[in-house]
Amino acid sequence: MKLGSIQILRALAAAMVVYMHSINQMCFFAANGHQRTALHASLGAYGVDLFFVISGFVIYTSANRLNGRSQALNFLWHRFRRINPIYYAATLITLIVWLPSFWRHARPAPPDAQILTSAILFPVLNNQLPILTQAWTLSFEWYFYFLFFLLILAGVQKKTKLLSAVLISLIILGWFLRRWPLGFLGLYTDPLIFEFLLGVGTAYLCQRWTPGKKSIQAILWLGIGLSLTLMLTGFYNFEAIPAPEIRSLRYVHALCWGSSAALVVTGCVLLERSGSTGFFQKHPLLLLLGDASYSIYLFHYLIFGAIGAIYLRVGLFLPPDLAIPINAVLALVGCLPFYKWVEVPLLKWLRKESPSRLTPSPPAGT
């Protein structure tokens, strides 16, 4: 069963990433007030933090009770089916759109390392980004999925304790190795993986704790207040602060920004489960954007590319600070056809083609 609160938070996270990229695009055309604020980088960073916490919450909620080889393979197949085919479709469509620029030599062809990274979604050769640069987050997602897959395969009953021990140990190891040039190995000790653990902890807490509405509202408002403070000040935002020890900053970022996102998720989920379902179910547009959040995340650069092409041809005809939100809305709306005509049909077809030996998968929204 999908939680309306989680879908709305997904919509919010996707919108924040899109808005940040709209600011970034406008920087190529004109100076704007947005770029002089911490929000220039904070919105997208917090959107990613929120996505990671939500992912930890969803995986624990849907897979915590799975055990054994069959269910482990089912979990892995379900994750692959949900993530990779749509990502490969987005990459292929992007490359097709880029073909004219390849022929004109206006854009360099992707190197072999980038093609390999794009295929396996794990960085190789000095943290090479995939062709869809925003898909760097999928490497973290798959890393977390694979750890959870191993817990299911091993039949671990108390997954939360062992997962916490493993992830915290890896994060501590990363601290001692932070001055070493780890290259692509840095992914496996990156402190941002702590945010998935915060999501697991949030799910664990929400299943076992039933506070009163005043307590829930206090948690939610605390999370919102902390989140706004961090975004408006850019406090320890690892993307916004230029410093040589960027990995050291990521530890504080993961703890502070991840915790504020976890408080927001906790407050929203507990509020919905306490009976306040009306707020989370009476916003069909937000629920639609939440359902489409993955397509929005993958395809919004294509929409920005089309907008940028118009500006290059006719010039920037809007005030920059007005163009930024307009472009962001156009990108959000423009990605909905990709959701309707690429993601949804592809998922339906893949469900029909699921290997018969695997047990039924969790709902597609998980």
* Domain that includes residue 56, residue range: 4-352
Is residue 357 predicted with pLDDT exceeding 60?
Answer: no
CA 172 – CA 280 distance, rounded (Å)? 38
Residue 121 lies in a domain: yes
Residue 310 lies in a domain: yes
Residue 360 lies in a domain: no
Mean per-residue pLDDT over the chain, rounded: 89
User: Is there a contact between 116 and 91 (Cβ–Cβ < 8 Å)?
Assistant: no
Give the pLDDT confidence of 302-342 residue by residue, as tens digits: 999 999 999 999 998 889 999 999 999 999 999 999 999 99
Query: What are the backbone dihedrals phi and psi of residue 2, each rounded to the nearest 5 degrees, phi first?
Result: -75, 140
Give the pLDDT confidence of 177-232 residue by residue, as tens digits: 877 877 777 889 999 999 999 999 999 999 999 899 899 999 999 999 999 999 99
Give the pLDDT confidence of 267-301 residue by residue, as tens digits: 999 999 888 766 666 788 999 999 999 999 999 99
Residue 336 lies in a domain: yes
Predicted pLDDT at 84 = 97
Give the pLDDT confidence of 43-91 residue by residue, as tens digits: 999 999 999 999 999 999 999 999 999 999 999 999 999 999 999 999 9
Residue 366 lies in a domain: no
Residue 363 lies in a domain: no
Residue 72 lies in a domain: yes
Predicted pLDDT at 265 = 97
- Count how many domains the chain has: 1
Give the pLDDT confidence of 120-168 residue by residue, as tens digits: 998 877 667 899 999 999 999 999 999 999 999 999 999 999 999 999 9
Predicted pLDDT at 365 = 44
Residue 243 lies in a domain: yes
